[in-house]
Amino acid sequence: MAGLAAWRIFAVNPGSTSTKLALLNVAEGQVQVLKHSEFSHQASGTLDLALTERSELVKEQAKSWQPFAAIAARGGLIGPVPAGSYVVDEALIKASLAAPAAGHPANLGAPLALELSRIYGVPAYVVDPPSVDEMLPLSRVSGVPGVERRSLVHALNLRYVARKLAAELGQDFLQSTLIGAHLGGGSSTAIFHHGRMIDSSDALLGEGPFSPNRAGSVPVHGVLELLENYGLAKTQELLARHSGFLGLLGTQDLRELSGRLDEPEVKLVVKAYALSVTKALLALAAHARPQALFLTGGAVNFKPAVELIHEHLSWLVPLYLFPGEFEMEALALGVWRVLSGLEPARSYAA
* Per-residue pLDDT reduced to its tens digit, 146-193: 999 999 999 999 999 999 999 999 999 999 999 999 999 899 999 999
Q: Is 332 helix (H, G, I), strand (E, B) or coil?
A: helix
How many structural domains are present in the chain?
A: 2
Q: How large a percentage of the chain has pLDDT more than 90?
A: 86
Lowest-confidence region among 46-55, 191-200, 245-254, 270-279: 46-55
Q: Is the pLDDT of residue 50 over 90?
A: no
Decide: 180 and 162 in contact? Cβ < 8 Å.
Answer: yes
Q: How confident is the model at residue 100, as a pLDDT?
A: 59
Task: Indicate yes or no: pTM above 0.85.
Answer: yes
Q: How confident is the model at residue 190, as a pLDDT?
A: 98
Decide: 96 and 145 in contact? Cβ < 8 Å.
Answer: no
Q: Is the pLDDT of residue 48 over 70?
A: no
Decide: 46 and 106 in contact? Cβ < 8 Å.
Answer: no
Lowest-confidence region among 77-81, 136-140, 218-222, 258-262: 77-81
Decide: 290 and 282 in contact? Cβ < 8 Å.
Answer: no
What CA–CA distances, in Å, run from 314 to 130, 170, 311? Answer: 30, 21, 5
346 lies in some domain: no
Decide: 6 and 26 in contact? Cβ < 8 Å.
Answer: yes
First to last CA, the chain: 29
Q: Which of 143, 72, 53 has the alpha carbon at shortest distance from 329?
A: 72
> Which DSSP category does 228 fall into?
H
> Which DSSP category does 274 fall into?
H
Residues 73 and 165 in one domain: no
Mean pLDDT of the chain: 93
Q: Residue 221, class by beta-carbon neighbours within 10 Å (0-12 exposed, 13-18 middle, 19+ buried)?
A: exposed
Q: Which of 284, 324, 328, 267 has the alpha carbon at shortest distance from 300?
A: 324
Tell me the mean pLDDT in the region 32-47: 81
Give tens-digit pLDDT for 202-248.
888 878 999 999 999 999 999 999 999 999 999 999 999 999 999 99
Residue 46 — very low, low, confident or very high, per pLDDT cuts 50/70/90?
Answer: low
322 lies in some domain: no
Residues 265 and 147 in one domain: yes
Q: Is the pLDDT of residue 95 over 70?
A: yes
Residues 183 and 79 in one domain: no
Tell me the mean pLDDT in the region 314-323: 97
Tell me the mean pLDDT in the region 77-105: 86
Q: How confident is the model at residue 139, as a pLDDT?
A: 97
350 lies in some domain: no
Residues 253 and 114 in one domain: no
202 lies in some domain: yes
312 lies in some domain: yes
Q: How confident is the model at residue 99, as a pLDDT?
A: 60
Residues 162 and 71 in one domain: no
Residues 151 and 254 in one domain: yes
Residues 100 and 185 in one domain: no
**Domain of 109?**
7-131+328-339
Distance, CA of 218 to CA of 78 (rounded, Å): 26
Residues 49 and 149 in one domain: no
Q: How confident is the model at residue 336, as a pLDDT?
A: 97
Decide: 183 and 277 in contact? Cβ < 8 Å.
Answer: yes
225 lies in some domain: yes
How far is C-alpha 164 from the geometric centre of its chain's CA atoms? 16
Distance, CA of 336 to CA of 85 (rounded, Å): 10
CB-based contacts of 42: which residues, under 8 Å, 6+ apart?
Answer: 17
Q: Is the pLDDT of residue 17 over 90?
A: no
Residues 118 and 190 in one domain: no
Residues 163 and 242 in one domain: yes
Residues 127 and 142 in one domain: no
347 lies in some domain: no
Residues 21 and 103 in one domain: yes
Give kind and range of the element (H or E) at residue 13: strand 7-14
Q: Which of 4, 28, 10, 24 has the alpha carbon at shortest distance from 122?
A: 10
Domain at 274, CATH number: 3.30.420.40
348 lies in some domain: no
Q: Is the pLDDT of residue 97 over 80?
A: yes
